[in-house]
Structure formats: structure tokens, C-alpha cells
């Protein structure tokens, strides 16, 4: 049984990447999706990873990483923008459930990033709370433009890095867990067409890094 207690941050990361490789290859195992697992996880949950990703309907974490019930603690917002509810949810998974890995999962062709680029470059505006999403993505777009980068992948990667930094800057619980070696925080970029997840940034893993393919 893959649980938070059984895995180090590095091991949890490798389990996650292995599942993505199976998904890409078209040979998913669909682990932990049977009646026995349902009964096993009914009393309590011990997810080995927190998945903070974009709400995009094409980005279902349990599918693209080939996992099942009780494996992932999933938090999703448009453009993976961060607020107090997100931070509280992640802190709960880390401090109460014992998850050793936190993943920020972005993806190409992100509508929130595209809308923010349009707002910055063309002066367009959005109504309602969509404007709040755009405002929270704006620092990432501005930083990418300031660096002279223009490709879609550049904006996506910068926003992933920004989100990882923001989580660690705003959450003392998370930053202390990373400093203590109990938790790693990584940023992955998912490619919609081929299903691969690629490492963008990592905090708390050993110096050697793994790349998903």
C-alpha cells in the first residue's frame, strides 16, 4: 500500500513520475481503484502527495498520474491561483495527513495565463471574480515579459515557479516542513497533447533531479 508514512519526498516523487510514464505509454495499472481499496481508505486517508493544480477539465490528476483512492490530496483552482483556502488545505494535508510531497501542476494552453497576457498586453478586462484570477496571475506574466521571454511555455513555467515560491513564502508550516526534510515542493508542467509532466522547479528534493517523460 502506497501511503504517506511509507515514502520519503523523493520516493513519493518517483512514484508519481512512474504513474505518469504509464499513462503516457498507454499502459495504466489503475492502482487502488477496487472495492478493497475503497474499504481500506474509508476510516482514514494517508495521501502520499498533495496535488495543487489548475481546474482545467483536461488535467485530472488521478488519471494522468495513474493513481487511485487515497493516493492524492487534490486542490484545484483556475490557473492554480493561491488564497487562504488553498494554503489551509495544503497545510492540512502536510501537517495532519502527513503527505511528504506537494506538487504545483500547471499546463500548456492555460486559459487563465492566456487571459492575463491579453489583459496585460491588450488592456482587456474581465468581469466578476474572473478579474481576481487574472490579478493573481499578473505578477507571473509581468516577470516573464521583463525577462524578455515570449513563448507560451515561458509564461507557464514562470507561473509555476511563482506559485511554488508563493506557497513557501506564505506558509510557515510548509516552509518549515521543507527545511526539516519532511516535505518537498515541486512544480510540474503538463503537456496536453502528449500527456507528459515535466519538472520545472523543486524545493526539498536531493540535489539530483528527475525529469518526467
* Contact assessment for residue 113 and residue 144, using Cβ atoms and an 8 Å cutoff: no
Structure confidence at residue 3 as a pLDDT band (50, 70, 90): low
Alpha carbons 93 and 98: distance in angstroms, whole number: 6
Apex CA 86: angle with CA 81 and CA 89, to 5°? 155
| Neighbour count for residue 152 (Cβ, 10 Å) | 14
**What percent of the chain clears pLDDT 70, i.e. is strictly above it?**
94
| Neighbour count for residue 29 (Cβ, 10 Å) | 13
Q: Determine if residue 156 is left, alpha or beta; phi over 0 gives left, psi from -120 to 50 gives alpha, anything else beta.
A: alpha
* pLDDT score recorded for residue 211: 41
Mean pLDDT of the chain: 94
- Per-residue pLDDT, averaged over 56-74, amounts to 97
User: Which of the 8 DSSP states describes residue 186?
Assistant: E
Using the structure block, give the residue that is written with the C-alpha cell 527545511.
179
| DSSP reduced 3-state for 191 | coil
| pLDDT at position 122 over 50 | yes
| pLDDT at position 47 over 90 | yes
* pLDDT score recorded for residue 207: 41
Alpha carbons 121 and 35: distance in angstroms, whole number: 51
* pLDDT score recorded for residue 125: 80
Q: Kindly state the helix (H) or strand (E) to which residue 106 belongs, with its residue range.
A: strand 101-107
Alpha carbons 161 and 114: distance in angstroms, whole number: 17
Amino acid at each position: 500500500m502506497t501511503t504517506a508514512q511509507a515514502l520519503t519526498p523523493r520516493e513519493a516523487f518517483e512514484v508519481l513520475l512512474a504513474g505518469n510514464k504509464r499513462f503516457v505509454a498507454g499502459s495504466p495499472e489503475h492502482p487502488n481503484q477496487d472495492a478493497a481499496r475503497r474499504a481500506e481508505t474509508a476510516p482514514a486517508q494517508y495521501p502520499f502527495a498533495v496535488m495543487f493544480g489548475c481546474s482545467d477539465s483536461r488535467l485530472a490528476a488521478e488519471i494522468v498520474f495513474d493513481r487511485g483512492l487515497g493516493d492524492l490530496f487534490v486542490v484545484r483552482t483556475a490557473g492554480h491561483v493561491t488564497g487562504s483556502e488553498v494554503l489551509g488545505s495544503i497545510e492540512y494535508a502536510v501537517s495532519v495527513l502527513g503527505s511528504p510531497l506537494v506538487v504545483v501542476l500547471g499546463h500548456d494552453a492555460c486559459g487563465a495565463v492566456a487571459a492575463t497576457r491579453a489583459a496585460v498586453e491588450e488592456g482587456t478586462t474581465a468581469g466578476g471574480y474572473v478579474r481576481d484570477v487574472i490579478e493573481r496571475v499578473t505578477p507571473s506574466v509581468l516577470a516573464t515579459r521583463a525577462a524578455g521571454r515570449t513563448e507560451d511555455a515561458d509564461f507557464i513555467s514562470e507561473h509555476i515557479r511563482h506559485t511554488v515560491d508563493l506557497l513557501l513564502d506564505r506558509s510557515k508550516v510548509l516552509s518549515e516542513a521543507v527545511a526539516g526534510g519532511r516535505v518537498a515542493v515541486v512544480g510540474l508542467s503538463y503537456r496536453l497533447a502528449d500527456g507528459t509532466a515535466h519538472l520545472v522547479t523543486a524545493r526539498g528534493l536531493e540535489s539530483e533531479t528527475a525529469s518526467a517523460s
